Structure formats: C-alpha cells, structure tokens
Amino acid sequence: MTPTLLLATDLSHECHAAFSRAIRLAADSGARLDILHVTDPWLPEAAVTPVRSAIEAEIEGTIDHLCATHGVARPELQIQLIAGDAYAEIVREAYERGTQLAILGTHRKHGQADLVNGTTLSRVLRRAPCPVLSITHKADFRWHDVLVPIDFSLASRYILKEVLTRLPGVRLTLLHAWDMPVSRELSADSGYRRWREQERARLRQQLERELERLMSELDTEPDIELVVEQGDPTEVLLNRLVAATAGPAGAGQPWPPGYRPARPQQPHGAPSERSPLRPHALSHLVIHPQAIAETPMRALIQRVTHAEVQVAKETVGAIDQGLLALIGIEPDDTAERSDKLLHKLLNYRIFGDDNGRMNRSVCDVEGGLLLVSQFTLVADTSRGMRPGFSRAAPPEIGERWFTHLVEQARARWSNVATGRFGAEMQISLTNDGPVTFLLET
C-alpha cells in the first residue's frame, strides 16, 4: 500500500517551505501527496467558483515550480479544496486518508513569540492521528542534529523509535530533566548536594540500561549523547534550545515528552555561525500520544430476547436470545484488539444464572450474537451541538476489521448473524432487562 503524506497549505509565505519539503519527501519516498486547502465556508456563492479556480491554478503552478527547482518528477498527488474549519478538516482528512505524516507551515499571529499556541497548528497537533511535521526551513536543508527529551514512559520509547526510523543517520542528544521543588532552598546543604549527584548517577544508569534494551530491539547503533539535568523540564528544554546553533529545525510534542529540535546541515563550504535561538524559529515534528496509546476497541452490547437487522425491508440478520453488539471501529484498531473484543463478547457474563445473578455468558446460554458495524459509536460529542466523526475509521479500514471480527466470531461460535457493512440499516430488538453495556477491550 502506497504511504500517504498530507500537506495542509493556505498558500501563504509561511507555508512555502512546507510545500517545498512535502514535494521533496513525496518524491524521495515514493509516497502519494494529498494537498489540502480549506476555504472560507462563508464565501458568497458567486465567488466560490472563481476563487476555487484561482486556488487550484496557484497550487498547480507551485507544484510545477517546486518540481523543476528540486529536479524531481511530479509525485502522485491529489488536490483537495474543502470549505470548513481548517483544523477540523485537516484532522478529518488525516483520519480518512490513513495519513502517515501531516505537513504544515508554522503559522503565528503577527508579532507572536510563542511557538504554536493560538494557531490552527496547535489544534492539529493535539488531535491528529499521525505525526505532524511543521516546517520553517527550506527543503534543501538536511537535519542531522536531533534533541529528544525523554523520560521512562512508553511514549518516550515510541518517539525515540520514530526518530530513528524517520531520521536515520542523525546525531541524537537525549535530554532527561528531573526536578525537586525545594532544590534551591537545599542547595547550600552538603548532604543534599551529595544525594543530588547520587540521584543523577542513578538516573543516568537507568536511562543507559533502557537505551541498551531499546537499541538491541532496533538492531542499530546511532550516534547518541545522553544528558541528565536537574530543573523544571520545560525550562531545561528551552535553555538547551536557546544555547543551540543557528538555524535549527525542531520536532516534538509541546512540550516533553517528544519535543525534538533538529539542526539543518549547512551547505558544503558554508560557515557555521552561532547565534541565539528563538523557539518559534524551529521546525518541529509532533507525535501525539493518541498515535501511540493503546486505545480500546469498543462495542455497545444489549441483552435481547430477539433482534433483527433489515436492509431495504429485507432481513439480513436475526437472533433470538443473545447479544446485539454495535461495533465502533477507529483508524488505529488492529486484529489483536478485534480478537480481544470478540473474547469479551463471547465470555462476558450478563445473563442470569439459577439465582438470577449475571453469571452466564452468551455461550453459556447458547445464545445468538448479532454483530452490526456502527461508526457513530466513536463520534466526538465533547463540543458543540453536532457530533464529529473524525475518530471513526475510513470505510475500507472499518470494513476490514469488521469482516475480521465476523470471520473470527463464526470460527468460534455457531450462532452468529450480522448486519451489512456500510448499508442503511433498520434494527429492531427487544432488550431483556433492559441490560446495556459499553464494552471496551
């Protein structure tokens, strides 16, 4: 399957470097490039057609210019113009396209010193299902110095793996910051100073053991420097950035773990000057925890005495006593999660025993299992008065894992019925109890 890169651009000057980098990345990796421009949904109807035509012409012209500049063939690409909220449409496209990497320019309000706060970029960083690369430097710069703030979490291990995978051959500085709230008050005490040095040595040894384990898993020997500093993690990180060389690009999750600035390599023969660094001058790569967390696969289950599914007034699946399970599938669901969910469906004890207690499973009562895919089950209802469906898996992914679930269910249990994936279905049921649970793996 061809990997997909998503470039979100407003065609501003700040986005030009990101556009250029995206063309190079797509050409070098053989990935498909999806170019997204989000237009104002409140444009007068008479202005929509000429504005869209002008935007498409500008994008096509930029593509041709950048391909000629970099001497690369035009990559496989698709141009999307969508009216709506920029943040929401970017995240939705990332989900629906199964994007491996989203690329944006660094947008700030005029005079804003902060890295991303208050921008569309900041909202995309928090919600995108894939790593997000924000670019400020031209595509002919090569990154070779990378700073990775680390701790002992699963997130840090994942981010370090991503760095080594996506940026092979770079020099890594691993920064671990640890803080004691009363360190200033105790700094004059010799006993405290001795303990602090012992603690620093212990943390370094623990980090070194973790690194050795990770490197053995990856079968690689990168150029790594381990730095352990005491202080507030954000302050330690920013101080390191301010002291860095000129022209860095940065990457990470605001802030630790995962924030990693990378310095672009100077062109051959160019002098290397040192100058103060402002964090907002960085390019950065953010891997959201959502991309690495073990999120559950879920099903809404109801204990029924009868349930059936109709499509166009034709019954396509029906059971008597048993479970009706509405299945919600997200983009990062896997076969392992599907199998875990099926195990719970078949063994979850919600049927009454001889004493009337919920102590029997659907298999114990020899009941039926009716499986129905329902993407609305994973809707985001936290804001506004309309549900958002950016968390739902694209149809091809949803159908793949729903089909897998059905096949495994039929291999393990004889009485399994289903709805029809993607169809407009009508479900009728008699809930026994009522008994309804939201089941998660």
Q: Tell me the catalytic residues.
A: 374-376
H or E element: which one contains 102? strand 101-105
Q: Are 142 and 53 in contact (CB under 8 A)?
A: no
Q: What are phi and psi of 277, to 5 degrees?
A: -115, 130
Q: What is the C-alpha separation between 58 and 95, in angstroms, rounded? A: 26
H or E element: which one contains 80? strand 77-83
Mapped onto helix, strand or coil, the DSSP state of residue 117 is: coil
Q: What is the C-alpha separation between 132 and 124, in angstroms, rounded? A: 8
Positive or negative, the Cα torsion across 327, 333, 338, 344? negative
Q: Are 237 and 134 in contact (CB under 8 A)?
A: no
Q: What is the C-alpha separation between 229 and 156, in angstroms, rounded? A: 17
Q: In what order do the strands lie in the sheet with 32-39?
A: 77-83, 32-39, 4-8, 101-105, 132-135, 284-286
Among the listed residues 43, 287, 283, the one whose alpha carbon sits nearest the alpha carbon of residue 156: 287
51 is written with which tokens?
A: 């504005």
Q: What is the C-alpha separation between 105 and 134, in angstroms, rounded? A: 5
User: How distant is the alpha carbon of residue 205 from its chain centre?
Assistant: 31
Q: What are phi and psi of 205, to 5 degrees?
A: -60, -40
Q: Which residues contact 43 (CB under 8 A, 6 or more apart)?
A: 51, 83
Q: What is the C-alpha separation between 216 and 383, in angstroms, rounded? A: 44
β-strands 298-311, 314-319: how paired?
A: antiparallel
Task: Give the CA diameter of the chain.
Answer: 85
Alpha carbon distances (Å) from 430 to 299, 305, 306, 318, 326: 18, 6, 5, 12, 15
Q: What is the C-alpha separation between 8 and 10, in angstroms, rounded? A: 7
CA atoms within 13 A on the CB side of 158: 18
